[in-house]
Chain A
Amino acid sequence: MNFEKKDLLDIETLSVDEINLILNTAKSFREVLERPIKKVPTLRGKTIANLFFEPSTRTRISFELSAKRLNADLINFSSSTSSVLKGETLLDTAKNIMAMKVDALVVRHSAPGAAHLLARNLPISVINAGDGAHEHPTQALLDIYSIREKKNKIEGLEVAIIGDIAHSRVARSDIWGLTKLGAKVKVCGPPTLIPVGIEKMGVEVIYNIESVLKNCDVIIMLRIQKERQKSSFIPSLQEYREFFALTEERLKLTRPDVIIMHPGPVNRGVELPPRVADCGRSIILQQVTNGVAVRMAVLYLLLTRGGE
């Protein structure tokens, strides 16, 4: 089957077939990453622009590597070096870059819908690398890939997402992808950080971390940001850690074959103590490797769509 869509903007509108197509394609690229020459000529001559209006090192580098391994050219545009400060709108910035004959845009922005705005107005492919708290589709795809790699399936698995759900685009994209593929998703965190209405997305809400940990196959930990203290979402990071961190003690409650994931960067000592982040059940680093393969798959599928 072909990937028919021009853009990858969210998981909400992806079908199960489309998700599987991307993941199966990613498998081939994962093999490329094991070769001595980790490059294929497939996207030679194509140019991809990273438009990052929010700081991000790992996602940006991951996309950069993905593009380069496919032999595409990549340019980086981040908001601190742009004319956005001078008042150029998002759309104008994107149009300017497109006028330099770029074939695809990878966009990260703090406003939900930013990637959709560009996709609607530009003829080239747009990949959403994170739009505010809305979605981060490639992260969810690599998360699902990583889970499948370890567990050989998604259907029927019990997945716990723990942390600041309200502000997390990773949580939303993960929820869409995992529920579409038949997993049972539970979210856990303080009530102030669980968005109103989330049960309608098909997840169970649990405030007590111990009860969630006892019955899950996969744990996805999310970052908690210091700023949440300021707006009184949580009284303090210390209290948050006391109630919601995945400590070594709490790890003992989990099943022996549970896998621990985190989209990164990990707040060592807050949601995950170093020993847990580095333990045998943690697949955090595999997520990063798989991320490059998944992003290569996305770039391949979008940029080799349909002939002239």
Chain B
Amino acid sequence: MKVMDATEIRATLNEICQKIVSKNQDLSKTCLVGIQRRGAILAQRMSKIISRLCGQKLPVGRLDITLYRDDLSRISYQPILRNTNIPFSIDDKHILLVDDVLFTGRTVRAALDALLDLGRPARIELVVLIDRNHRELPIQADYVGKYLATSSSQMVELKVEEIDRKEEVVIIDKDGQNEF
């Protein structure tokens, strides 16, 4: 079931970026770090939008959290390791951690651990396109594009041009599969 189309995604992302610009006077120490894979794509886009809005070009990094997952021994498949590429120091920076969907909070927990192994940021804020509830850890986003009411057995997926060759957010009904 499609809940967002390309236009809505673009509009929502613009809104988030406007909120960020208005909330933060000084973006000189701010960086975007996107969680692989789709969070990283969103972070890339956000950097362009923010640059258009206020002229500030925020550096963008990609973070792969596979090595920090808490469920590696439980899943039946072997997740593909993707690259972590943060080409700048994160010490004393204001990090905007970007992900597509916030669900149980475990991905973000892993991302925080990974980031903190890489340096000591001054502040980390969480940006998500979708917050679908059902948190299993005490984690909240600072910027949310859209809230979605879902049941925990459903899957919410963001499809992007760069990977899936379409732009949409869908809710999928499935039976009891354990997906991160």
Contacts and interface: CB of A to CB of B under 8 A. Distances in A.
A41 B113 contact: yes
A2 B77 contact: yes
B118 interface: yes
A200 interface: no
Given A37-B117, A42-B67, A42-B68, A308 B81 contact: no
A40 B119 CA distance: 14
A36 B89 CA distance: 11
B32 to A, nearest CB: 19
B75 interface: yes
A62 to B, nearest CB: 19
Contacts of A270: none
Contacts of B12: none
Contacts of B83: 27-28, 31
A222 B169 CA distance: 57
Contacts of A300: 67, 81
A39 B117 contact: yes
Contact of B73 (A2, A28, A40, A307): A307
Interface string A275-308: 0000000000000000000000000110011111
Contacts of A41: 67-68, 113
B33 to A, nearest CB: 14
Given A27-B83, A28-B64, A35-B118, A308 B73 contact: yes
B65 to A, nearest CB: 10
B67 A307 contact: no
B52 interface: no
Interface in A88-109: none
A198 interface: no
A3 B81 CA distance: 13
Nearest to B68: A41
Determine the interface band of chain A, counting residues with CB < 8 A from chain B: 20 to 34
Contact of B82 (A2, A28, A301, A306): A28
A25 interface: yes
A35 B119 CA distance: 9
B22 interface: no
Contacts of B73: 304, 307-308
A19 interface: no
Dominant SS at the A interface? Answer: loop
A124 interface: no
Contacts of B119: 36
B68 A304 contact: no
Given A37-B118, A40-B117, A42-B67, A28 B81 contact: yes
Contacts of A40: 67-68, 114, 117
Contact of A42 (B72, B76, B84): B72
Contacts of A24: 81
Given A37-B118, A39-B117, A28 B77 contact: no
Interface in B67-97: 67-69, 72-78, 81-85
A28 B118 contact: no
Contacts of B67: 28, 32, 40-42, 300
Contact of B74 (A31, A301, A307): A307
Interface string A37-55: 1011110000000000000
A305 B78 contact: yes
Output the residue of B73, B75, B81, B83 with the most chain A CB within 10 A: B81
Given A27-B83, A28-B84, A304-B73, A3 B78 contact: yes
Contacts of A27: 83
Contact of A25 (B69, B76, B81, B85): B81
A218 B50 CA distance: 48
A2 B69 CA distance: 17
A42 B70 CA distance: 8
Interface in B126-147: none
A76 to B, nearest CB: 25
Interface string B104-124: 000000000110011100000
Given A28-B67, A307-B74, 6 more contacts: A28-B83, A29-B81, A32-B67, A35-B117, A40-B67, A308-B73
Interface of A: 1-3, 24-25, 27-29, 31-32, 35-37, 39-42, 300-301, 304-308
14 contacts: A1-B78, A2-B78, A25-B81, A35-B118, A37-B117, A40-B68, A40-B114, A40-B117, A41-B68, A41-B113, A42-B67, A305-B78, A307-B74, A307-B75
